[in-house]
Structure 1
Amino acid sequence: MTKANLNWVVLGPGAIGGLIASALLEHGQSVSVLPRESGPREINWQVTHKQFKADYSAQVITQPLAGNTVFVIAVKAFDVIQALLRITTLHGFNKTMPIVISHNGMVELPELLKELNLHPLVTTHGAVKSQSENGNFCIEHRGAGRSWLEVGPQGRNQPTDFAPGLVLQQAFPPLTLEQDLSERRWLKFVINCIINPLTAVHECANGELLKENWQTQVYSLVAEAVAVAKSHNVSLTTEECYKEVLLVAKETALNHSSMLQDIQQQRRTEIQQLTGYLINAGKTAGVATPTHQQLFNEFQQRYNG
């Protein structure tokens, strides 16, 4: 069993970041936290699974960073650039340090950040973060899922050479190491562009989208998104994506999408990084997305952006 000597720094942590941090601690890894705001030197949290609860704690990072630091950034898409910029200012940071990064939506990074050692993570785990009465936070692990980690960048590493990936495989299973996650990231993006805004506009659980009266719109949304993906040299098919959308809606039938939860909690949504990005990418490539545009307009009218 691989026990790489790594120092993991988890940003936040939010729901998914906290889930990963907990798994790493269970696996005997050294984990510290880079909090969003200055505060106590130790962060405490609880993870609730279906069968049990567990308590965790981690120290806030001290600088300078150790040379064997690995970052885990799991944030909202609109926070990605700020999060990356923040870690580059930490004392001891260098751009060879691996950064495991997970988010919904698509983000265009400035050239400076493209040079970082980024390893996209796609996960289907479902988790929700909340605050407890004593001020600590709780993570409810609502749905066990699967994960994929890109070992790149640009195919530079073989899966067996990437120590953080091997540790995550053991600590946070099931996780698959892949050279290139472009197709898988686009597939998740397409799914999110349909389930999130539809359930937000109609204020319904994900399972509602399985009903027959939704299928014409859902299929049209999928077809347009796949056409945009193909303009980015991503070879998805409409039928494959349509089946995946219905599968996710079925597997998470009772759940509210992250976008609907954001609406309910009066938080900023990722509509611009999902539907907005897709529409703009379509315009750039000359691909029409009228069904997404109509859904985007409905969202804007309902929630004033």
Structure 2
Amino acid sequence: MINRVTSKHWFIAGQGSIGSFVAYNALLSGIKCDQIVRNVNHSKQTWFHPIGKQPTALPTPITSVDITPNSIHYLIVPLKAYDIVPFLQQAMPYLADDAAIILCHNGLGTIELVNDLLTPNMNLFFCTTSNGLYKNKDGIFQAGLGGSQWSHVAGNNPDKLNNDDLVPLFVRITQVDNLQKILWQKLIVNCVINPLTALHNVKNGALAQLVFAEDIESIIKETLLIANKLGVSLELSAMLKAVNQVIANTAENYSSMNQDVKSHKQTEIDFISGYVVKEGLKLNIPTPISLSLYNQIKAL
């Protein structure tokens, strides 16, 4: 009898932290998995450093040259939000007519854009994860094992994947019915921590200082106006608690936006504060705080 889980051949976009985490877990589980890169000559073999175990060399990545057209049935796209659509535009010739695609990134705003690219039989899923992973010149390091939540977000076949398919890849993962609420909770956290730490060039823990309290509450209040108008029920007290908890739990970390700014890389601000501004314009709700943060990050 064919095992439904191990018979799937997964493809992963890139060699980032989350993608390499999934590739490592696939390797352990005997699941066929290939990481796709633009140019194999510019990539190198990635070493994954799991907690409490010896480092493991991940299989050599592949490029589009190695992929047969219409052959990708299962694809995970754990890229920066601004790279999602360009990658999928290039990948379309290689996707099967009934492909299942999982997006995994910070921020909001890609689901609608990707849905416009899909053919009728394709299905789109979204996964949000809190696994503690970081990348340096020696490979991908696992700092902590967090949880992940996922859901079907577009397409006619929500049963194309189930939780058993994803547990071997993400380990602690749960299928949820309230993904939109979870994504907005995470967006609000990102709307606070990412731009503030980038603009002030501080670790996350610095935001616990009293001097940031008013800014933090103002950002949350403004973002909640949009979320609540869109039917996502969240409360100020709960979100203040959630934001402060993340600040405390990640006190010694530099946010991804802080690191991107220092490295002179593109940030995901369009899909964080920029998304709030965009939705505010649609709803005719002013978002001056988010707009100010957006413009300041863009000016760096």
The normalised TM-score by structure 1 is 0.86
Distance 1:49 1:111 in 2: 34
Q: What is the aligned counterpart of 2:23 among 9, 21, 34?
A: 21
Q: Residues 100 and 297 from structure 1, CA distance in 2 versus in 1: closer, same or farther, beyond 3 angstroms?
A: closer
The answer to whether the Cα contact below 8 Å between 1:147 and 1:175 also exists between their aligned partners in 2 is yes
2:133 is matched with 127
Query: How does 1:238-277 map onto structure 2 within 5 Å?
Result: 238-277=236-275
**What displacement does 1:2 show?**
6.5
The answer to whether the Cα contact below 8 Å between 1:6 and 1:68 also exists between their aligned partners in 2 is no
**What displacement does 1:39 show?**
3.2
Amino acid of the structure 2 residue aligned with 1:129: K
Distance 1:191 1:36 in 2: 32
Structure 2 segments unaligned to the other structure (5+ residues):
none
Q: What is the aligned counterpart of 1:229 among 227, 230, 233?
A: 227
Q: Residues 203 and 154 from structure 1, CA distance in 2 versus in 1: closer, same or farther, beyond 3 angstroms?
A: same
Q: Residues 281 and 3 from structure 1, CA distance in 2 versus in 1: closer, same or farther, beyond 3 angstroms?
A: closer
Amino acid of the structure 2 residue aligned with 1:103: H
Structure 1 segments unaligned to the other structure (5+ residues):
133-137
The answer to whether the Cα contact below 8 Å between 1:121 and 1:149 also exists between their aligned partners in 2 is yes
Amino acid of the structure 2 residue aligned with 1:192: N
2:170 is matched with 172
Query: Is the partner of 2:281 in helix, strand or coil?
Result: helix
Amino acid of the structure 2 residue aligned with 1:106: L
Query: How does 1:106-145 map onto structure 2 within 5 Å?
Result: 106-107=108-109, 108-109=112-113, 112-115=116-119, 116-132=122-138, 138-145=139-146
Distance 2:143 2:129 in 1: 13
The answer to whether the Cα contact below 8 Å between 2:13 and 2:19 also exists between their aligned partners in 1 is yes
**What displacement does 1:141 show?**
1.9
Distance 1:228 1:79 in 2: 25
The answer to whether the Cα contact below 8 Å between 1:7 and 1:30 also exists between their aligned partners in 2 is yes
Q: Residues 276 and 119 from structure 1, CA distance in 2 versus in 1: closer, same or farther, beyond 3 angstroms?
A: same
Worse-superposed segment, 110-119 or 250-259: 110-119
1:32 is matched with 34
**What displacement does 1:279 show?**
1.3
Distance 1:3 1:271 in 2: 36
**What displacement does 1:26 show?**
1.1
Q: Residues 299 and 153 from structure 1, CA distance in 2 versus in 1: closer, same or farther, beyond 3 angstroms?
A: closer
Q: Residues 149 and 269 from structure 1, CA distance in 2 versus in 1: closer, same or farther, beyond 3 angstroms?
A: same
Distance 2:256 2:204 in 1: 10
**What displacement does 1:152 show?**
4.9
Cα RMSD between the aligned structures?
A: 2.5
1:102 is matched with 104
Amino acid of the structure 2 residue aligned with 1:45: T
Distance 2:298 2:74 in 1: 39
Distance 1:82 1:139 in 2: 24
Divergent runs of 4+, >6 A: none
Distance 2:221 2:59 in 1: 45
2:289 is matched with 291
The answer to whether the Cα contact below 8 Å between 1:11 and 1:36 also exists between their aligned partners in 2 is no
1:58 is matched with 59
Distance 1:94 1:259 in 2: 34
Query: How does 1:158-197 map onto structure 2 within 5 Å?
Result: 162-163=161-162, 165-197=163-195
Number of aligned residue pairs: give it: 291
| Identity over aligned pairs, percent | 25
Query: How does 1:196-235 map onto structure 2 within 5 Å?
Result: 196-235=194-233
Q: Residues 68 and 268 from structure 1, CA distance in 2 versus in 1: closer, same or farther, beyond 3 angstroms?
A: closer
The answer to whether the Cα contact below 8 Å between 1:151 and 1:178 also exists between their aligned partners in 2 is no
1:5 is matched with 7
Worse-superposed segment, 173-182 or 70-79: 173-182
Worse-superposed segment, 113-122 or 57-66: 57-66
The answer to whether the Cα contact below 8 Å between 1:200 and 1:259 also exists between their aligned partners in 2 is yes
- Residue-by-residue CA offset, 1:197-234 (whole Å, 9 max, x unaligned): 00000111111112222212101101111111122222
Query: Is the partner of 1:84 in helix, strand or coil?
Result: helix
The answer to whether the Cα contact below 8 Å between 2:72 and 2:96 also exists between their aligned partners in 1 is no
Amino acid of the structure 2 residue aligned with 1:140: F
- Residue-by-residue CA offset, 1:10-50 (whole Å, 9 max, x unaligned): 1112111111111111111101121122438x962112244
